[in-house]
Structure formats: C-alpha cells, structure tokens
Structure 1
Amino acid sequence: MDFMQRAATRDYSKHWSTKGTFPWMIQQPKPKIEKRQISVRDNYIRCVKGEKPYWMPAYFYESDTVWPDAIEEHPVPEIDGYDWWGVNWFMVDEINGMITKPGTRTISEFSKWKKELQWPDVSKIDFESDGKKIRKTLDPERPHIYECVEGIFERLHELIPFDETLLAFYEEPDLLEEFFQKMADYKIETTDKVFDFYGRVDGVLYHDDWGTQRSGFFSNEMYREQLMPSTSRYLNFVKRKGKFIELHSCGRNMQYVPEMIEMGIDMWTPQPNANDADFLHNTYGKEMTFSFPITIKQDWSEQKIREGVRDFVDHYGENGRVMAWIMTEPMDAEKEKIARAELYHYSLEYYNKLYQREEGL
C-alpha cells in the first residue's frame, strides 16, 4: 500500500483524531484562565527561560499543544494501523497509547535503508487546511507548543527491531550518522511547515526516549558522537526560529542533562519514577527548567491538597525554573481545580517576595 498517497489525499480540513485518544484530548479547547498579572503565555516563557516568573505554571494546563493531523507519525486516525512510513502500530488500552507491533520491519536490514526506505514526501500534504483547523482550537492567551513526536532515534527503532537499531551504533556508525542527519532534515522540513501554517508557535516539545528506568541507552561518549550532532542540528534550527525547546525523553536520563543544556534545551519533564527530582533541581536547577509532579492522593482533603501544593512551591520555587504537573489518583477534576488555584495564589505571593515585587502588580 502507498501510505504516502493515502496521506496526500486525506481531507485535512476535517478532524481526524479518534475520541478519547491522546491526540483527541490535546486537540480539545481548554477552559479560559482568569485574568492574571501578566499573560499566561508570557509567564510560561519566563519560567522556561529562567526569567523570574510571576507564578509557578501548572504544566500542560497553562499551555496549548499544536498536534497536527497532517503529520502522520502515528496512524491517522489513531487506531490500529499504519503511519506514513509503513510502520504497523496498535493501541494499548492500559496506557491509552500506541506502540509498534512486535516484529515490524519496513526494511530488510539497516545497511539497506538507502535503497529500501521510502521517505515521506511532505510536499504532497495539505498543511494549510490542517493549520487553519487546528488554529481554531488554540487559546491566544496560552503559549502554543508544537509536539514533535517520534524523534531521530525513536524513528529508527520503529522502522526495524530495537536490537538491530542498537547494533547499528557498533556495526555501521558512518551509515548511522547519514541516517540520523537525513532524519534531522525531515524533522526540520516538517517543523518548518508547522511554523508556516499553524499560526503562532512559541516552542517545540521534542520527543525522543533515550533510556530505560535504570540508565540511558548509550554512554555519554556514544551519545555525543552518534546522536548529538543530528539532534543538535534540528534543535539549532528551532532556536534560530526564535522558539524555546522542551524535551520529552523517558528513561533514567539524568546523565545526559549536560548534553541537553549544551544543545540549548530549555526544559525537560523527567519520568518521575526513574529520575531524582531533588538531584536535578539542586544540580541543574539554575541552568534548566524542569516539570515535576504533584501527586494528589484519593484520600487527600482540601486542606491536605493546599498544604501539599505549598510544600512543593517552598521546595522547588527558589530558582523560578520549575513547573508543577498536577496529577490526581484517580483523576478528579475538582481536586485538580483546588490544587491549581492554590498553586497560582501561593506561588504568586512566593515570587512577589522572592523578586521583591509589590503585591498585586
């Protein structure tokens, strides 16, 4: 099947996300946020860049995500099926997300990727119609962040089995470098389309998982030699366009933070059960912004929620470079609302004192 032709003939003026899936959820308009001392967008950017925010942002809630239907890194709609690379995906209900079907192979072996791999021809895609549609869902008061999924490393182990991907680092380092650089070209091309057609874009949330829950996949030397050049070139493109960079990278990837900073990544949301939030905050908290979770338990009273939020701000607020990702177990919209209100009002007071601002300004 010609997956690129299917993508090229899709009517992107229509919404393609399936109700209840992650793309559907993040494409839904969010409720308006009450007027604040400065715009939610400006305050978020201050926190990302370490420029003295007025309050601690509620991560994800205070931003809008640009998730194009027209970039088919997953099946569109997001149900069992193929993306435009020809990779077979299936939905896992327990995680409400998609993974590649075991045994998926789009090329016979890595050494033959130049001959066998069909690269998406994005010139065929109607980004303009999709951009007009997505722009209508975005809140002008929030920052707009393009979610760039399936990073340079991830895409390779979706095209071929994971063990063969890792072997390529040892067996075909020069050919691997060519592949990663060509993938960086592709990422630059698709991201540029987003900047052209999806209205104001303030930042890019770049996805590339680099580790297990025990450690990164690569030594730092291997990372610097084989993955960092292509990744840096893509991220430098984003920075030259005046956008900030957030990183989504699952795994115990604390070892790569110096490289993240060197590449110009402004912010990382580390996987909570794999990384040490206090170590990251104490070691790198003045050079990089982090999003850490506040987990609200089922039996927490309103008073306990407010105390937990205040403790979080007192613990992580000192550098002005932490966002709070409010999570409830199980999901509880009312408890989230209480926590967000306390986060705003308490952290506003905290930063007024920290930065010697007059109350209410």
Structure 2
Amino acid sequence: MGKFMDVAANRDYSKEWQAPGSFPWIFQRPKEPIAQREISVRDNYIRCAKGQQPYWMPAYFYESNIVWPDAMEEHPVPEVDGYDWWGVYWMMVESAGGMITKPDTRTITDFAKWKEEVEWPDLSLVDFKTDGQKIQQMLDPERPHIYECVEGIFERLHEMIPFEESLMAFYEEPELLEEFFQKMADYKIESTEKVLKYYGRVDGVLYHDDWGTQRAGFFSNEMFREQIMPATKRFLDYLKSKVEFIELHSCGKNIQYVPMMLEMGIDMWTPQLFINEPDYLHATYGKEMTFTFPLMLDPSWQETEIREAVRGFVDHFGENGRVMCWIMTENFNAEQEAIARDELYHYSLAYYNKLYGRE
C-alpha cells in the first residue's frame, strides 16, 4: 500500500473531515425540509431531469441533496492543500472558490509508462460503510439524492501529467490512451458501486469531466467520438442501469458535444455560465435534454421585481418541462432567494397544470 492510500485507509470516517466553507462541506450540510408540495420533491425533480412532465420547475441545488463521500479521496480530505489518494498535489485557489492541481504536477514520468507507474487506489482498504452511515444522516428523504462523481476519465489523465502531454497522447499513443480510459472506466464503476452499496438511496449521478475552453471544446467532434466516448459511454451505461438520471458537469463551451452527450445517455447538463447560449440550447435541444439555466437577481430588486423576473423565466423556458432554474443572488441574499423560490414554485405549478391539462 502506497503512502497516499495509507492515509485514506486509516482515516476515522465517523468524523466530519471537510473544511467549513469548502464545497464538500457546503454540499454535505443538512437542508431544511421543504413544505408540502403537490407531489414529492424527489419525484418532481426526476420528472424534470427525464422530461416526464414535472408539476413545477425545480429550484436547482436547493431542491436536491448532494452525496459527497469523505471516503472518496479524489481531492485531498479535508479540501485544503495536499495530496489525493492518487498522489496528485492540489492547491486551494480562494479567488476561484475551488482547487486546482499544482502546476507541472507529475505522478508518472511519461504517459507511455502509465501501466508500470500509476498507483491505482485499493478501495477494499477504505471504510465506506462508516462514511456512508455518517453521510446518510444528513440527507433529506424527500429530496433527490445525487452522487457527485468528480474527476472524470479525461480529467484524471491531465491531473497526473501536464495538460499538454495529455493532449499529445491523443496523437502519439491512441491505443495506449484507449486502454487508460477503459481502465479508468473500470475504476469509476468500482468506486460508484461502493457509493450505491453504502450511502443509501442514490437517485442520480452528477458526472464531472471538463471538455472545453471558453471558446470551444478541447477536441474535434471526430476525436471526441473516437477517443472520449467509448470508455465514457461504458461507464454511463453502467450508471443508467443503476440510477434514475445522469447529469453532466462539464465546464467549457461544449455545445458542439451535445449530440454525443445525448447518444451517451446524459439526461441533463448544467452548462458553464455565460459562455453557453441558453436560448440556443433550449431551442435546439430543449425537448431531448434538461438544462439548468441561471436567473440572476439584481441586488437592488424588491419583491415585485423578483417575482416578475421569475415569471418571465418560466414563460421563456418552461414550454418543454426540461429546464431547472438556478436562482443566483449577490452575496447569497437569503431573503431574495426565498421570494424567488416561492414565486418559482407557485407560478410554475400553475403554468404546468395548464400546459399538461391538470386543471
């Protein structure tokens, strides 16, 4: 057992490990129950994610619970500067609100030597059972439970070696790259099995793999289809057999990959803000895929203006029943958010009752 896996194997998972204020810590916090709704919050969320005529438009994040295991050390635990169980060194960047790998990180000397040098985590050594019991206590049974599956198949490659070398492997070592991605898919399936076994009900999986820059995807569509899709689809096919829906987190202007996202069975995508055009996505793919789009509340808005903005959002994006509303305020204004959520529920409920003939 390597030194990084040794730390993970000997951690007391009955304790809370994440640093207060970090994303894992925020995601793990218990949420107040949601008042009685027309149907359960869980069932309505799944309806929206799968395009099955929801009763109201979900308020993204607020209406779900995230399953973020402390036992899955894809990042350092706690989430401060340090090593994950692959031996990758991570640094917290406060201005970005998250972690990045240390520049020029290298856990293998050369990609061509990954079979000899990559130290794969031995999951049998980790106390998922105790961690799962702890995490389950913080989950609301009325909300959908979504496993946050971070560090996707491509991301893990460029976390082990410099990014430019990862891209060169697509050209120089395509067969060896395919073997790596398929081996990583095996690992993703094995690790997800632990979550499904020990963390209670899991309704959906939020799979992370960033595929683009602010201008376009990293890969041509042909390269994506030939070298990213096969292993990714195999993992997603496994997920489809186990959970109700798959959501994708993929930063970058990745509109070009939406047809292939659909082929791989992805139900829902939360596109990176401000660089992917909501109107285009809604008009082009809105009947086939669920999207989360932001509703930005101006800090000067009073209740009347907030409610008017929410109604406009529903009128604009509600027609297919496949949009969730991500209510955003400056400095997490709880009062503005509460008003917006109230209007979102009541107005979209009436909207969908009329749309689907439930009146």
Please tell me whether the aligned partners of residues 111 and 161 of structure 2 are also in contact (alpha carbons under 8 angstroms).
yes
Matched position secondary structure for 2:223: helix
SS at 2:168 equivalent: helix
SS of 1:245's equivalent in the other structure is strand
- 1:207 counterpart = 2:208: yes
| Counterpart-to-counterpart distance in 1, 2:161 and 2:325 | 37
| Residue number in structure 1 paired with 2:157 | 156
Q: Output the CA distance in 2 between the equivalents of 1:175 and 1:155.
A: 15
Residue 301 (structure 1) aligned with residue 306 (structure 2): no
Q: Which residue of 1 aligns with 2:279?
A: 278
Tell me whether 1:60 sits opposite 2:54 in the alignment.
no
Distance in 2 (alpha carbons) for counterparts of 1:328 and 1:109: 45
Task: Work out whether 1:353 is the aligned partner of 2:325.
Answer: no
Per-residue CA distance 1:46-78 (angstroms, 9 max, x = gap): 000100000000001000000000000000011
**What is the Cα deviation at residue 243 of structure 1?**
3.0
Amino acid of the residue matched to residue 70 of structure 1?
A
> 1:352, CA displacement in angstroms?
0.7
Partner Cα distance (1:4, 1:221) in 2: 37
Query: Residue 342 of structure 2: SS of its match in structure 1?
Result: helix
Output one character per residue of 1:175-202: Cα deviation in whole Å (capped at 9) or x when no partner: 0000000000000000010000000000
Aligned to 2:344: 343
1:168-227 deviation digits (Å, cap 9, x = unpaired): 000000000000000000000000100000000000000000000100000110000001
Q: How does 1:64-213 map to 2 (within 5 A)?
A: 64-213=65-214
- CA-to-aligned-CA distance 1:308-341 (integer Å, 9 cap, x gap): 1000000000000000000002320110010000
Question: Distance in 2 between the 1:305 and 1:155 partners?
Answer: 41
Q: Gapped runs of 5+ residues in structure 1?
A: none
- Which residue of the partner structure matches residue 320 of structure 2? 319
Q: CA deviation at 1:120?
A: 0.5
The offset of 1:344, in angstroms, is 0.3
- Contact 1:297/1:330 (8 A) holds in 2: no
Distance 1:237 1:205 in 2: 14
Letter in 1 for 2:358: R
- The one-letter code sitting in structure 1 at the alignment partner of 2:115 is K
Quote how far apart the aligned CAs of 1:13 are. Answer: 1.1
Q: For each residue in 1:271-315, what CA deviation from the matched residue of structure 2 results, as whole angstroms up to 9, or x when unmatched? A: 121101000000000000000000011111211111110000000
TM-score using structure 2 length: 0.99
Match of 1:240 in 2: 241
Aligned residues: 358
Runs of 4 or more above 2 Å deviation: none
Q: Deviations over 1:251-290 (max 9, x none)?
A: 0000000000000000000012110100000000000000
1:289 maps to 2:295: no
> Which deviates more, 133-142 or 9-18?
9-18
Q: Aligned residues: percent identity?
A: 72
SS at match of 1:331: coil
- Separation in 1 of the partners of 2:6 and 2:182? 25
Looking at structure 2, the residues matched to 128 and 330 of structure 1 have their Cα atoms a distance apart, in angstroms, of 37
TM-score of the two chains, using structure 1 as the length reference: 0.98
User: What is residue 4 of structure 1 aligned with on the other side?
Assistant: 5
Determine the C-alpha separation between the residues in 1 that align with 2:6 and 2:16: 19
Q: Matched residues in 1 for 2:242 and 2:93: separation?
A: 36
> Any gaps of 5 or more consecutive residues in structure 2?
none
**2:194 & 2:245 partners in 1: Cα distance?**
17
Give the Cα–Cα distance (whole angstroms) in 1 for the partners of residues 120 and 274 of structure 2: 36
Q: Partner amino acid for 2:23?
A: F
- Separation (CA, whole Å) in 1 of partners of 2:136 and 2:3: 29
- The answer for the alignment partner of 1:264 in structure 2 is 265
Cross-structure match for 1:43:
44
What amino acid sits opposite 2:178 in the alignment?
E
